[in-house]
Amino acid sequence: MVDALTGKCKKRDRTASEERLVLAGLEIFSKYGFDGATTKMIAKKADVNESLIGRYFDGKEGLLMHITQKFIAELINRDLAYEPKDNLADELEAYVRDRIRNGCQHEDFAKIIIGHSLTDRKFKKKAMETIPMQLDPRLIQRVQMLADKGKLKPGTNVEELCHDLDTYMDGVFFFERVLHETPLEKLMEQTVRFVRTYSKLFTVA
């Protein structure tokens, strides 16, 4: 009985320490970049022993990978912040506005992931193997609802529609926001204009 209680306490302690390291890592990586951040800085911010980063995450790069996985999972698993729309143009506009707002909340961290992937092939390979590169199931569900209601042209491939939009959004974030530092409002305006035009290809007249 005592051993069981001790085991539960240790598990809770580890979970709490991991969570503090994740939050500290997100802040330190975002502020100093991957190369500028050190395990000592992260551990100090998290108020835990530095050795725990190696024990729990296999080092600084492992912590970065873990944070990335957690970040993507939280984005995909949370509910969309708007009600389903009656037509594709409004649905896609609401979706891209929501996606851009949420993406920009952790923009500095996203830049680190992109930059580190471009300069470290091993990290890129591991990221591609461990991070789920899937279409947003929430968007697919919303667009499929419109297709089921007869709001889209017959023969519309919902997954292809969402895939092309996803590719466009990734490109917009990288080239417009990361490289050119396009202001948020202008980026939003450009993206909304595109998706409303794009939606006409699939909408029943």
* 168-78-76-154 Cα dihedral, nearest 10 degrees: -60
My answer on whether 121 and 53 are in the same domain is no
My answer on whether 44 and 114 are in the same domain is no
Q: Tell me the average pLDDT across 127-146.
A: 85
d(CA 151, CA 182): 34
Q: Assess if residue 170 is contained within a domain.
A: yes
My answer on whether 10 and 39 are in the same domain is yes
Helix, coil or strand: residue 203: strand
Strand partners, 203: 152
Number of domains forming the structure of the chain: 2
My answer on whether 28 and 117 are in the same domain is no
Instruction: Determine contact, residues 93/192, Cβ cutoff 8 Å.
Output: yes
Tokens at residue 63, please? 């912590």
Identify the residue with better confidence: 11 or 141: 141
Q: Assess if residue 92 is contained within a domain.
A: yes
Report the CATH number at residue 19: 1.10.10.60
Report the CATH number at residue 157: 1.10.357.10
- C-alpha distances in angstroms, 178 versus 91, 143, 192? 26, 28, 18
Domain that holds residue 59: 1-68
* Residue 128's pLDDT band (cuts 50, 70, 90): confident
Identify the residue with better confidence: 205 or 82: 82
Cβ count near 95 (within 10 Å): 23
My answer on whether 54 and 152 are in the same domain is no
Strand partners, 152: 203
Q: Residue 2: pLDDT above 90?
A: no
Helix, coil or strand: residue 152: strand
d(CA 177, CA 107): 9
Single residue among 21, 40, 68 that ends a domain in this structure: 68
Comparing CA positions, the residue from 184, 17, 205 lying closest to residue 102 is 184
Tens digit of each residue's pLDDT (9 = 90 or more) over 52-61 = 999 999 999 9
Q: Assess if residue 117 is contained within a domain.
A: yes
C-alpha count within 13 angstroms, C-beta hemisphere, residue 125 = 3
Tens digit of each residue's pLDDT (9 = 90 or more) over 32-41 = 989 999 999 9
pTM beyond 0.85? no
Q: Assess if residue 73 is contained within a domain.
A: no
Tens digit of each residue's pLDDT (9 = 90 or more) over 109-121 = 778 888 888 888 8
My answer on whether 63 and 108 are in the same domain is no
pLDDT at 5: 45
My answer on whether 106 and 145 are in the same domain is yes
Q: Assess if residue 135 is contained within a domain.
A: yes
My answer on whether 63 and 96 are in the same domain is no
Q: Assess if residue 9 is contained within a domain.
A: yes
My answer on whether 4 and 82 are in the same domain is no
**CB-based contacts of 143, cutoff 8 Å, min separation 6:** 88, 91, 152, 158, 161, 162
pLDDT at 18: 93
d(CA 71, CA 58): 19
Q: Assess if residue 110 is contained within a domain.
A: yes
